[in-house]
Amino acid sequence: MKKIQILLFSVILVTGINSCKKESSGTGSNSSPGNKITITNLQTSDDSVVVTWTKLVNSRFSYYLILRRNYKSTDTTDYSYSDVIDQINDVNTVKFVDHSIPVTSYLEYQVLAVLQESEFYNYNYIYSNIMSYKRSGLTTFYLNPTDVIPDIANHRFYVIEGDSGKVSMVDYSSRSIVKSIMTNATIGFSDIGTYNNIKELYVPRNDGWVFIYNAETLDKIDQISAGTNCGSVLYNNGKLFIFGSSEDYYTSLFVIDRATKSVLSTINDIDYMRPELVPGSNTKIFGITTYGGIYYFKFDANGQNITENENSTEYSTDYHSFEIFPDGQHFITSDNGSIFDTNLNFVVQLPYGNYQYSGFAFNQTASNILASCGNYKYIVAYSNPGYTELQTYNTLGYPAFIFNDNNTIISLSSTTSYSYDGYGNNYIIESIPLTKKTTINKFQPVQSHQSRHSL
C-alpha cells in the first residue's frame, strides 16, 4: 500500500513540474477563431483602464488571468505571477476595469486563458495579444527626500536627501530637475533666505558646518562653523539659527551673525528638533521633536533669547510633517493632524480616521487646512476654524510634500503609498487647483506598513 501511495505522489509531483514548465513556455493560441482571445480595446483615463477582449470558446476553460506590466515585454507567451492583477472565473465576462493603475508612463495589458487538461491539474494556456498604454506628460523622479523647501516666487523647490547628501533644484512648472549637487555629507533640515540681495540656500551638515549655496545656481559661496553636528538651520534677518547635537546627546541652539560669522547667543541642553519661524515674525520660533517634545523661543533684534518654553505632550508629533498656521497662532503636525496653540497646549486632532497625513498647507485665505494623505491618493480640505472635512481632491500619486502656489496645490507625490522610511522611491509632480470640485475617490487605499512615528 505504501508503494502505491509513493508512486501516486511521484506522478502528481512530475505532473505539477510539467505544468509549471508549460506556464513559462505557453502553448499559444489555437488557430480556430473561437478558440483564441483578442484584446479589442483599451479605454483609458487618469485613474482607470478598461480592458475588453473577445470571448473564449473552449469547454476546458477554467479562468482568465488579467496581466499588467509596466515594461515592454519581449515574449508574448511568458509571464510572472507579479504581472497578474486579477482572476475571472466566468468565461462570459470579457471586460475588466483596472482601478489601481500604477503611476508610470507605460503600461501594457494581456489576457491569459487557463485550460484544465486532466484530473491531475495539468493546465494549458491561451494568450491574447498585448495592448499598450503610454501616458503622456508623466515624468517620474527617483528621490529619497527628507525635506523639501519651496521657493514659490520662482516656481521651484529644493529636494534635500539627507542620507546621501544630495540637493536638487526642481522646476515644478516644467516638471524638471534643473540641477543637482552632492554635498558629500549627511545633511539636515535646510532653509532659504536673502542676504545682500542674493538668494541663498543654507544646508546644515554632520561635520559641524553649514554650507551656503547660491539658490539660483547651487554654487557654493560660503560656509559657517557651529562646531558640532548640525541637524537643522533657520535664516532670518541676517541671522542663522543653527541646531546642533553635542557629545552628551543634547542639542544646542546657536544664533550666528551671517555677516561676521560670530556667535550672538547660545541655548544649551535642549532636545533635537526641527525649528520653524512664525510667519510675519523676526523673532519667534516653534520647534518640534518626533516624540512629543514641543518648544517656543523668542529672540530680540540682536539675537538674544528672551523666552524659552517647553512642553511635552501625549499626542503625536513629527518633524517631517510640521506647519505653522499663517496667523502664527497654531501649528499642526504628525500623521494624525495634532494642532497646538502658542502656549504649546494641545487643541484638537483632525478627524483622521484611517488617513496618515504626510504634510500640510493652507488656502490663500487660510480658511482651509489642506492635508496630504500619504496612504490615500487624496488631499483633504478642513475648515479653519472648526476642523470639519469639507472636500477631497484626488491625486494621481500619494501626496508626500505639498505647497500652495496661488491657490494651486503643488504636490511631490510618491508612486507608492508614502510613509517616511528612509528609502528612495519614484515621485511625480502634480498641480491641483483648489477651485476644482472633486468627489472622494472610492477606490481602496494602500495601507502603510510602517507608522511615521517609527523613525
Cβ neighbours of residue 82 under 8 Å, at least 6 residues apart?
A: none
Q: What is the identity of the amino acid at 41?
A: N
The label of the residue with cell 497662532 reads 329
Q: What digits encode the pLDDT tens for the residues 118-166?
A: 666 677 899 999 999 988 778 899 999 999 999 999 999 999 999 999 9
Distance CA 312, CA 346 (A): 10
CB crowding 112-146: b at 16 or more within 10 Å, else e = bbbbeeeeeeebbbbbbeebebeeeebebbebbbb
pLDDT value, residue 74: 84
Distance CA 207, CA 92 (A): 67
Q: Which of 30-34, 105-109, 358-362 has the lowest mean pLDDT?
A: 30-34
The label of the residue with cell 556667535 reads 263
Cell of 339: 494642532
pLDDT value, residue 249: 60
Distance CA 108, CA 239 (A): 55
**114-82-372-199 Cα dihedral, nearest 10 degrees:** -140
pLDDT value, residue 12: 37
Does residue 418 have a pLDDT over 70? Answer: yes
pLDDT value, residue 112: 95
Does residue 10 have a pLDDT over 50? Answer: no
Of the pLDDT bands very low, low, confident and very high (cuts 50, 70, 90), residue 2 is very low
Q: Which of 53-57, 96-100, 248-252, 408-412 has the lowest mean pLDDT?
A: 248-252
Average pLDDT, the chain: 86
pLDDT, mean of residues 422-439: 84
Of the pLDDT bands very low, low, confident and very high (cuts 50, 70, 90), residue 230 is very high
pLDDT, mean of residues 198-202: 98
Query: Rounded to 5 degrees, what are φ and ψ at 443?
Result: -75, 155
What structural domains and CATH numbers belong to the chain? 19-134 (2.60.40.10), 141-433 (2.130.10.10)
Does residue 335 have a pLDDT over 60? Answer: yes
pLDDT value, residue 269: 87
Of the pLDDT bands very low, low, confident and very high (cuts 50, 70, 90), residue 441 is very low
Three-state SS sequence of the chain = CHHHHHHHHHHHHHHHHHHHHHHHHCCCCCCCHHHCCCEEEEEECCCCEEEEECCCCCCCEEEEEEEEECCCCCCCCCCCHHHEEEEECCCCCCEEEECCCCCCCEEEEEEEEEEECCCCCCEEEEECCCEEEECCCCCCEEECCCEEEEEHHHCEEEEEECCCCEEEEEECCCCEEEEEEECCCCECECEEEEECCEEEEEEEECCCEEEEEECCCCCEEEEEECCCEEEEEEEECCEEEEEEECCCCCEEEEEEECCCCCEEEEEEEECCCEEEECCCCCCEEEEECCCCEEEEEEECCCCCEEEEEEEECCCCCCCCCEEECCCCCEEEECCCCEEEECCCCEEEECCCCCCCEEEEEECCCCCEEEEEECCCCEEEEEECCCCCEEEEEECCCEEEEEEEECCEEEEEEECCCCCCCCCCEEEEEEEEECCCCCCCCCCCCCCCCCCCCCC
| Closest by Cα among 373, 368, 311, 286 to 337 | 373
Of the pLDDT bands very low, low, confident and very high (cuts 50, 70, 90), residue 304 is very high
Cell of 148: 523639501
pLDDT value, residue 124: 87
pLDDT value, residue 121: 64
pLDDT value, residue 248: 55
pLDDT, mean of residues 352-360: 96
pLDDT value, residue 39: 97
Share of the chain above pLDDT 90, in %: 69
Q: What is the identity of the amino acid at 153?
A: A
pLDDT, mean of residues 422-438: 87
Q: What digits encode the pLDDT tens for the residues 233-273?
A: 999 999 999 998 755 567 899 999 999 999 999 999 888 88
pTM of the model as a whole = 0.79
Q: What digits encode the pLDDT tens for the residues 270-293?
A: 888 899 999 988 789 999 988 889
Of the pLDDT bands very low, low, confident and very high (cuts 50, 70, 90), residue 389 is very high
Q: What digits encode the pLDDT tens for the residues 309-323?
A: 999 999 999 988 999
